[in-house]
């Protein structure tokens, strides 16, 4: 087995945590996998993997080598792809995953227009608010919002999402208006995510980041749930404008603490580096960048700020 094949073997073992699973994915025997790893360790003079009866995990040296292997294999795949896709046409089934709210509001109509442009393509769209592993779940392109925490995935920026703090006029009339971030402690807050401790909201003050503890009366990993609660006057929510920009424009919600805005978050298209980026994935990502270069959610008529 040559060096590139052995590097590919290592990435599959680390990704799956199992010699047997790596062998299944590569269509070789478990003994071939073990032999390739042993040869690599002998050539490098370092132990790359810790083996137990239940799982295989990378050592510190193994993790560093794994990350370099991913980058090298991705470069090779991209070079080969640039040559082969000169005559490659988008075809087959494109599997896409995206967050529930964003997918429902924007991605559904975008995909309909995309399919009108590429009529030989079939699309399978799944919506979930949990982060998935594209390799494990067989997804071609994953759309995600927020900070990227998995460096093993390639991310391409699609657009920015503006985040604001909002409340209903009814809530403000009953509970008053927070004047500073410290005032949030005395208000009912609607928190995105799950927290067993006191949640903290990242805001800015004079351009510098600050972290503010809040009292969450409702926590959820679904933005629509928090939007509905905010509209009903339950509390103050920290949400992206793509979700409730129309509510702000219509006056159903107003922006609070506008002088302490949260930082924008990025919307990215993610794909696995050790997967060949087929033409179907490439043209879809290009389409999303084009579609959301001027995001519609920033075009509401007027931002209504509580005062």
Please, what are the averages of pLDDT over each run of 10 residues along the chain (307 residues)?
Answer: 87 90 90 91 91 86 91 85 64 90 91 92 90 79 81 84 93 94 93 77 91 91 92 95 89 93 89 72 93 75 52
- What is the length of the chain? 307
Q: What is the pLDDT of residues 267-278, one digit of tens each?
A: 999 887 755 567
Run of H or E including 224: helix 223-231
**Maximum separation of any 2 CA atoms in the chain, in Å:** 72
Alpha helices of 86-150 — where are they, by DSSP H? 100-102, 108-117, 134-137
How does strand 188-192 pair with strand 236-240?
parallel
SS3 247: helix
How does strand 236-240 pair with strand 141-145?
unpaired
In the chain the domains, ranked by start, together with CATH numbers, are 3-84 (1.10.10.10), 92-159+265-298 (3.40.190.10), 163-256 (3.40.190.10)
Residue 16 Cα distances to 8, 156, 218, angstroms:
12, 25, 36
């Amino acid at each position: 087995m040559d060096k590139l094949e052995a590097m590919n073997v290592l990435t599959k073992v680390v990704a799956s945590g199992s010699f047997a699973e790596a062998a299944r994915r590569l269509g070789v025997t478990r003994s071939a996998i073990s032999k390739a790893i042993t040869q690599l360790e002998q050539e490098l003079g370092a132990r790359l993997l810790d083996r137990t009866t239940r799982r295989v995990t990378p050592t510190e040296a193994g993790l560093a080598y794994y990350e370099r292997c991913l980058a090298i294999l991705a470069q090779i795949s991209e070079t080969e792809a640039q040559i082969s896709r000169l005559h490659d046409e988008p075809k087959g089934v494109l599997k896409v995953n995206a967050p529930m709210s964003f997918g429902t509001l924007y991605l559904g109509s975008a995909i309909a227009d995309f399919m009108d442009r590429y009529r030989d393509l079939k699309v399978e769209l799944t919506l979930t608010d949990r982060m998935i592993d594209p390799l494990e779940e067989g997804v071609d392109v994953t759309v995600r919002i927020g900070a990227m925490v998995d460096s093993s995935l390639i991310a391409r920026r699609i657009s920015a999402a503006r985040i604001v703090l909002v409340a209903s006029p009814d809530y403000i009339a009953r509970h008053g208006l927070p004047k500073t971030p410290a005032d949030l402690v005395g208000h009912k807050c609607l928190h995105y995510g799950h927290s067993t401790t006191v949640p903290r909201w990242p805001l800015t003050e004079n351009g510098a980041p600050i972290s503010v503890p809040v009292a969450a009366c409702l926590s959820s990993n679904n933005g629509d749930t928090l939007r509905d609660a905010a509209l009903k006057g339950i509390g103050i929510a920290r949400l992206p404008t793509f979700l409730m920009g129309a509510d702000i424009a219509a006056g159903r919600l107003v922006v609070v603490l506008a002088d302490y805005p949260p930082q924008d978050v990025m919307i990215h298209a993610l794909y696995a580096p050790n997967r060949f980026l087929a033409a179907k994935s490439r043209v879809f990502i290009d389409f999303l960048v084009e579609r959301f270069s001027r995001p519609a959610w920033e075009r509401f008529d007027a931002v209504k700020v509580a005062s």
